[in-house]
Amino acid sequence: MLIVLLILVPLIGGFLAMLLPEKMVYPFAMITTVATLVIAAVSYIQYTQGAELIIDRSWIDILGARFHAGLETGDGLAVLMMMLTAIVFPFIFISLRNKQPEKVHTFYSLMLFAQAGLMGVFLAKDALLFYVFWEIALIPVYFLSSMYGGPRRIPVTFKFFVYTFAGSLIMLVAILLIYRHAPIRSFSWDSFVSIGQAMPGSEQSWLFWMMFIAFAIKMPVFPFHTWQPDAYEQSATPVTIVLSAIMVKMGLFAVVRWLLPVIPAGSAQWMNVVITISVISVVYASCMAIVQTNIKRMIAYSSIAHIGLMCAAIFSHQILGMQGAAIQMFNHGITIAGLWIMVSIIEHRFGTQDMREMGGVAKVAPLFTIGLVVMSLANIALPLTNGFIGEFMMFNGLFKTVSPYHTLFTVFAGLGIILAAVYTLTMIQKVAYGPENTKTASFTDLTMNELVVMIFFVIMILVLGFYPKLLMNLIYVQP
Amino acid sequence: MMFAGIVLKKTAQIQGVAILGILALLGTTMVDLKLVGADTKTFYSMIELNAVTAWFNVLITFCALAYFTLFSKNIAAVGKNDADYFALLFFVMCGVYLLSTYSNMLILFLGIEILSIPQYILAGSDKENIKSNEASLKYFLMGAFSTGILLMGITLIYGATGSFDIFSDGFIAQFQSSAGLNTMSFAGVLLLIIAIGFKVSAAPMHFWTPDVYDGTPTAFTPFMATIAKVSVFVAFIRLFHLSFGNVSNDWQTAIAAMIVLTLLIGNLTAVYQQSVKRMMAYSSIAQAGFMLFAIFSLNNLAWKGLILYSVAYTLASLGVFAVLIKMKDYTYEGFNGLAKKEPVMAATATICLLSLAGIPLTGGFFAKYYVLSAAVEQGKWIGIVIFAVLMAAISAYYYFRLIRSMYFAEGEATLSYKPSSIEKALLLVNALLVILLGVLPGIL
């Protein structure tokens, strides 16, 4: 029941938000996401106490597709992603309190639809249901990014949409091809896994790419990343948060749930290739981030670098690396969401995204600067911030990879940490320190709602940095 | 219906009679559902009703009801002889039923002719418009050719089997033997593919489609592109599954080539259109490519898929056309800013376009899914399934282009008339049906 509510509450909330009078929309959307968060928290508690939350109803009998979703033992990653989705949305909404978008009806209902879709992706246990939610999550985000944001948003979002849609259609064919082998018509995860164990290697070898391209576009890793910096830059920041904190995790999550277990031989076969492109992704995106002057583009590239590392760690086929990636998926979501909210404040107050026009914020807005610095440090994965533990485990896993190139992989991926320090600290320097200018003078410090958001994210970053066991317990598997 | 024009003088009454008529048909087809299982062959065994086709009849009549309710005002507005238009549409419906239930090649021929001839007239019904006249003439000339080819095919098969009845011993001997086809029946089958392919506008027999659909008054285009077309598909799969199914090796290559060409030409050309009406014409070619998969794969899932596809495609196209017909300017620019002016129209059109593009939670997704998985299930030539999927990605481009115009482009969309709230409610119901099919495709 809880599982259904997780999807239904935002979905119905989205429909109702369209019908309410304009003043009621924001409070209502707020209540809906908080309610979702409460339900998620209850599910989380029940899950940690060992309960299995499952819904399994017949859906399309002729195909054998079932409405099968839930959290079973071993679904720790899904729990993390579910919690991330539930946490990020209310805080986006809080941060919007004093800067409401135009057309509030559309905005909030689409946001709630997106939340419902994302929940579905992380909870689905049936391949067809997963695919359906995968697309459903895309549509509201497509509309959101096209309606709100910079001047080039429409073509940019269109590119993003066509790119990901093409990818997911190829995945659909892959699902069909795997489904064909099912002894009784079924899309269930278990059935897919058992098919995967028995499938000949030659077939897995190309099925792997059909699935992986769809996920790689979503993450994105080099060379499928070209939609991403543009889309992040041009979308309105609340939408960018949804994209970068949660949506890109869909790609990684799908790899862990639907690719590695379902196509094991294919994944093992292409492991080195995938890690190589991920590492290229890390180095390339970090270098790109250094030369950016637009703050949103810079964070977009830094996001590609982080995702690249997570992807490499997942494909290391080492338990430590995969656990690190799982932890980092959650933590990166928290950090990047906080960072984007800071960026949206900067963008809003300065009226520009160009870092060359900023400076000296530390003097006029100390609270803001503290928040920005803590989140940036978490982005570099400094010890005692939440970024550290995951990154450490990922490098560990990458180094232990059974591959002749493991040292090479680790060294190049390690470059990413150094480069991350370069671009993040440069960003802080340009924004917070340096000479003040006319715009800085009018920069006011955080308002009440922004302060709440900032404190929450800073606490999350520090607590999870000091005590990562909270997350580790969820994804710990007996080696 | 034909005489309604003499008795009734007011258009509103004629429209009412038409809708009542279609409701009566719906009732009749529902009664037919009950008959299945009893002696279902009638008229000297020329008509055979089975569970699937009876169900198809109900659904297609329901779609026709949707068409009549959405468009009756526009049909009446085409010209002076409104009663005649409705009468012609009912003739087409007659052809539809013959095509879905025939068991004799003569009835197939008769059905196709009853279906086509009123369409030739309807295409030219806007007598003062030269494009409409051109459409009619073009359609008629090309249609006459295809009729000739169809007859030739039927004749050759008659020569080979000695019978018109698709369940007769001659047919069974000819098409169920392991020896394969002899030259005469092989030529007959190929000619039939060409003739029927023409009617469903499959490439390379598609050249008439864009001009005819574009020239035909917008009130009739949706009917031709949907209800008339999908019923020919049912005739197609009926003949090729029930009688030629065992020799599919001999003709499957031809169908596969048609699928590839149809998808390629339909989708790529649709991308370059500036007029939404013409885009919809090419999109109907592209959608036909997907429906051909059902004929390619020939299993139970294919039947299910074809029926779901027919309904989903029909409802979605009707939804788009019903919005299109209210616009003054049929180019993409004409739709700019529609969402601000008429949110309901824009939203329903968007849902229908999403369905045509095959986005989940709309009927179009499962329609595509069924036919493609039927093709995967039959096991041969997986490559064209992948190709079809790539083409579906291209189709998203031109459908979303219209969504972009409606929602994100600045502009003043001008309507040719202000839709009443009843019309808007009907559009909403139609869009909800499309979503219902996408959530629970199992109900069909």
User: Domain limits at A430?
Assistant: 270-479
Looking at residue A385, its pLDDT comes to: 84
Alpha-helical runs (H) found in A315-447: 319-350, 361-364, 366-380, 386-400, 406-432, 438-441
| Domain locations in chain B as residue ranges | 1-243, 245-444
Lookup result for tokens 């019309």? B423
Contact criterion met (CB below 8 Å) for A405 and A271: no
Give long-range contacts, CB 8 A cutoff, 24+ apart: A402-407: A402/A317, A403/A271, A403/A272, A403/A275, A405/A272, A405/A275, A405/A276
In a domain, A468, yes or no: yes
Looking at residue B7, its pLDDT comes to: 53
B389 contacts in chain A (CB < 8 Å): 169-170, 172-173
Lowest mean pLDDT among A267-271, B34-38, B102-106: B34-38
Q: What secondary structure letter does DSSP report for A1? A: -
The A-side interface with B (CB below 8 A) comprises: 59-63, 128, 131-133, 135-136, 139, 143, 146-147, 154, 158, 161-162, 165-166, 169-170, 172-173, 176-177, 179-180
Looking at residue B84, its pLDDT comes to: 81
Looking at residue B164, its pLDDT comes to: 82
Contact criterion met (CB below 8 Å) for B144 and B124: no
Looking at residue B4, its pLDDT comes to: 47
Contact A172 B389 (CB under 8 A): yes
B370 contacts in chain A (CB < 8 Å): 63
* 3-state SS assignment for residue A58: strand
CA atoms within 13 A on the CB side of A102: 4
Contact A60 B366 (CB under 8 A): yes
Contact B392 A176 (CB under 8 A): no
A158 contacts in chain B (CB < 8 Å): 400, 404
Of B372, B393, B442, Cβ closest to residue A62:
B442
A143 contacts in chain B (CB < 8 Å): 407
Contact B301 A62 (CB under 8 A): yes
Given pLDDT bands bounded at 50, 70 and 90, which one contains residue B177?
low
A63 contacts in chain B (CB < 8 Å): 369-370, 373
pLDDT, averaged across chain B = 84
A136 contacts in chain B (CB < 8 Å): 360-361
List the single residue in A with minimal CA-CA distance to B442: A60
From residue A142, how far is each of A14, A179, A253, A351 by CA, in Å? 16, 29, 21, 25
Lowest mean pLDDT among A84-88, A287-291, B39-43, B146-150: B39-43
* Cα–Cα dist A185/B370, whole Å: 13
In this prediction, what percent of chain B has a pLDDT beyond 90? 6
Looking at residue A361, its pLDDT comes to: 80
Contact B396 A154 (CB under 8 A): no
Rounded average pLDDT over B207-223: 88
In a domain, A299, yes or no: yes
Q: Which two tokens stand for residue B418?
A: 């202000």
List the single residue in A with minimal CA-CA distance to B397: A162
> B352 to chain A nearest CA, in Å?
14
Higher pLDDT, residue B48 or B12: B48
Is-cis flag, bond preceding A140, omega within 30?
no
- pTM equals 0.88
Interface pTM, i.e. ipTM: 0.82
- Which tens digit of pLDDT belongs to each residue from B356-400? 988 888 888 888 888 888 888 877 778 888 888 888 888 888 898
CA atoms within 13 A on the CB side of B139: 31
**Is the model's pLDDT at B212 over the cut of 70?**
yes
C-alpha closest to that of A154 among B338, B409, B399, B402: B409
Contact criterion met (CB below 8 Å) for A228 and A275: no
In a domain, A335, yes or no: yes
> B376 to chain A nearest CA, in Å?
7
> A298 to chain B nearest CA, in Å?
27
Based on the structure, what is the number of domains in chain A? Answer: 1
> B296 to chain A nearest CA, in Å?
17
Looking at residue B10, its pLDDT comes to: 61
Of A61, A147, A180, Cβ closest to residue B377:
A180
Backbone angles phi, psi at B275, to 5 degrees: -95, 135
Of B359, B370, B407, Cβ closest to residue A147:
B407
> B160 to chain A nearest CA, in Å?
38
- Which tens digit of pLDDT belongs to each residue from B57-92? 888 888 988 888 888 888 877 777 777 888 888 888
* Cα–Cα dist A205/B313, whole Å: 36
Walk along chain A (479 residues) and give the pLDDT tens digit of each residue: 778 888 888 888 888 888 888 888 888 888 889 999 999 888 888 888 877 788 888 887 777 788 888 887 778 888 888 888 998 888 888 888 877 787 888 888 889 999 999 998 988 888 888 998 988 888 888 888 888 877 888 888 888 888 888 888 888 888 888 888 877 888 888 888 888 888 888 888 888 888 888 888 888 888 888 888 888 888 888 888 888 888 888 888 998 888 888 888 888 888 888 899 999 999 999 998 988 888 888 888 988 888 888 898 888 888 888 888 888 889 898 899 988 888 888 888 887 888 877 877 877 888 888 888 888 888 888 888 888 888 888 888 888 888 788 888 888 888 888 888 888 888 888 888 877 777 777 777 778 888 888 888 889 888 888 888 878 877 765 54
> A82 to chain B nearest CA, in Å?
22
List the single residue in B with minimal CA-CA distance to A145: B408
Contact B408 A147 (CB under 8 A): yes
Q: Which two tokens stand for residue A355?
A: 């870092």
Looking at residue B180, its pLDDT comes to: 66
* Cα–Cα dist B100/B235, whole Å: 6
Looking at residue B317, its pLDDT comes to: 92
From residue B112, how far is each of A92, B125, B135, B275 by CA, in Å? 60, 20, 19, 30
Looking at residue A479, its pLDDT comes to: 44
Q: Which two tokens stand for residue B53?
A: 């086709």
A154 contacts in chain B (CB < 8 Å): 404, 408-409
Of B361, B376, B408, Cβ closest to residue A136:
B361
In a domain, A104, yes or no: no
Who contacts A49 (Cβ-Cβ below 8 Å, separation ≥6)? none
Backbone angles phi, psi at A59, to 5 degrees: -130, -70
